[in-house]
């Protein structure tokens, strides 16, 4: 691909200055505990993070569906920021399952994927405060069109165990609403400080929500527009500052399939398609459990069935996927 669009905004923040001038504003008791462990008194940083926001990019005219399926590596489990496919020199990005308003719920008790990432990467809360103070919209959707936000170079200063573990005092886990209801003792046991911090690159993009019944062509087109723009922006940002293009790996999961009730097979299928169009070297799909792994296998089979002998025109693909009769599910309450 030869297009090199520029972001709507590009802002660079020294992390230390960001944390000093715009410290996170945390209302929830348990999230304050996480912050205290992650950033004890005297913590410093020599890093800087880069914020970019992108307008919707035009999709290619066609896609190779067999190549799309081959580009995906399924990894059972949730995000493991230490896991890397065997691609030397690759730049890794992780999808943030964003609200249209960036990090809107980071201060309160909610602890879904977005809020968990902010808690483990405290500078994201400071970034939110700085953007608000500077009058930036920080919207991942504007005027009904996706405007994904990329954040490059943010420190991950702790990890939080959210799995079900009765012995550790979390029989229901700590994900979602369970986090805010947990005791201080349970929360402290679940936190492991990362020192020195590791570095994460994030793609904040909002999945469609509120759908009922069958997905229509407009739904499918919007998902492709969003995922392609976010993934393509990651490719462009991985070669910024005059550097040569490096391999790009994006880590994702069943984006939009929790609180928004999205269809796992459809969302996996369309992210695979977007990864091929965007020119990723690998899309790591974290499937969480055996049911998630089976959902990806169904998506992979569908891509194989729809693949022709060459590339498939995008209008044809949207029509074919719409004809599968994918239906919206219901929210999982998180």
* pLDDT, block means (10 residues), the chain with 334 residues: 80 98 97 97 95 97 96 90 87 96 96 96 98 96 97 98 94 93 96 96 91 91 97 92 82 89 94 98 94 96 90 96 91 64
* pLDDT score recorded for residue 332: 64
* pLDDT score recorded for residue 333: 60
* pLDDT score recorded for residue 209: 81
* pLDDT score recorded for residue 210: 73
Contacts of 213 by beta carbon, 8 Å cutoff, 6+ apart: 327, 328
Question: Looking at the 3D structure of the chain, how many domains does it have?
Answer: 1
Q: What is residue 275's three-state secondary structure? A: helix
* pLDDT score recorded for residue 2: 47
Q: For residue 212, report the phi and psi dihedrals to the nearest 5 degrees.
A: -135, 140
Residue 243 in tokens: 């550097």
* pLDDT score recorded for residue 98: 94
Closest CA to 24 of 132, 175, 112: 132
Whether 333 and 177 have beta carbons less than 8 Å apart is answered as: yes
Q: Assess if residue 329 is contained within a domain.
A: no
Q: Assess if residue 2 is contained within a domain.
A: no
Residue 156 in tokens: 């991950």
Q: Assess if residue 226 is contained within a domain.
A: yes
Contacts of 261 by beta carbon, 8 Å cutoff, 6+ apart: 209, 211, 328, 329, 330, 331, 332
| Secondary-structure percent of the chain, ordered helix, strand, coil, rounded to 5 | 35, 25, 45
pLDDT, one tens digit per residue, over 17-60 is: 999 999 999 999 999 999 999 999 999 999 999 999 999 999 99
Q: Assess if residue 133 is contained within a domain.
A: yes
Q: What is the DSSP letter of 327?
A: B
Whether 68 and 273 have beta carbons less than 8 Å apart is answered as: yes
Q: Assess if residue 3 is contained within a domain.
A: no
In DSSP terms, 193 is beta-bridged to 158
Q: Assess if residue 333 is contained within a domain.
A: no
Q: Which residue has the tokens 């069943």?
A: 254
* pLDDT score recorded for residue 115: 96
Q: What is the DSSP letter of 330?
A: -
For residues 231 and 284, what is the distance between their CA atoms, to the nearest angstrom? Answer: 12
Kindly report the CATH number assigned to the domain that includes residue 91.
Answer: 3.40.220.10
* pLDDT score recorded for residue 310: 83
* pLDDT score recorded for residue 261: 83
Closest CA to 283 of 273, 275, 293: 275
Domain limits at 28? Answer: 9-322
For residues 1 and 319, what is the distance between their CA atoms, to the nearest angstrom? Answer: 24
Q: Assess if residue 176 is contained within a domain.
A: yes
Q: For residue 310, report the phi and psi dihedrals to the nearest 5 degrees.
A: -140, -150
In Å, what is the CA distance from 255 to each residue of 23, 194, 204, 262, 297?
29, 26, 11, 8, 16
- Dihedral angle of Cα 228, 290, 156, 153, to the nearest 10 degrees: -20
For residues 231 and 157, what is the distance between their CA atoms, to the nearest angstrom? Answer: 25
Q: Assess if residue 194 is contained within a domain.
A: yes
What is the end-to-end Cα distance of the chain in Å, rounded? 38
Closest CA to 123 of 154, 163, 149: 154
């Amino acid at each position: 691909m030869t297009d090199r669009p520029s972001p709507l905004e590009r802002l660079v923040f020294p992390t230390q200055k960001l944390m000093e001038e715009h410290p996170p504003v945390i209302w929830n008791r348990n999230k304050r505990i996480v912050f205290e462990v992650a950033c004890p008194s005297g913590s410093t940083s020599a890093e800087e993070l880069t914020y970019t926001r992108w307008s919707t990019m035009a999709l290619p005219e066609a896609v190779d569906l067999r190549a799309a399926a081959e580009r995906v590596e399924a990894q059972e489990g949730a995000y493991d920021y230490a896991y890397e496919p065997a691609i030397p020199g690759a730049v890794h990005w992780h999808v943030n399952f964003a609200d249209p308003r960036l990090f809107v719920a980071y201060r309160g008790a909610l602890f879904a994927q977005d809020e968990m990432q902010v808690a483990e990467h405290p500078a994201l809360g400071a970034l939110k405060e700085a953007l608000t103070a500077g009058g930036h919209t920080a919207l991942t959707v504007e005027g009904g069109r996706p405007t994904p936000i990329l954040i490059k170079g943010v420190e991950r200063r702790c990890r939080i165990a959210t799995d079900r573990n009765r012995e550790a005092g979390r029989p229901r886990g700590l994900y979602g609403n369970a986090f805010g209801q947990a005791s201080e003792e349970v929360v402290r046991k679940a936190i492991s400080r990362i020192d020195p911090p590791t570095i994460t690159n994030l793609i904040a993009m909002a999945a469609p929500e509120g759908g009922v019944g069958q997905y229509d062509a407009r739904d499918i087109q919007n998902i492709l527009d969003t995922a392609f723009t976010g993934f393509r922006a990651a490719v462009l940002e991985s070669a910024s500052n005059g550097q040569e293009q490096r391999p790009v790996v994006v880590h994702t999961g069943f984006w939009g399939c929790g609180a928004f009730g999205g269809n796992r097979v459809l969302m996996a299928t369309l992210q695979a398609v977007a990864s091929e169009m965007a020119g990723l070297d690998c899309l790591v799909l974290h499937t969480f459990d055996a049911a998630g792994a089976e959902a990806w296998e169904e998506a992979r089979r569908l891509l194989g069935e729809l693949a022709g002998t060459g590339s498939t025109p995008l209008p044809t693909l949207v029509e074919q996927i719409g004809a599968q009769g994918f239906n919206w599910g219901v929210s999982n309450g998180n």
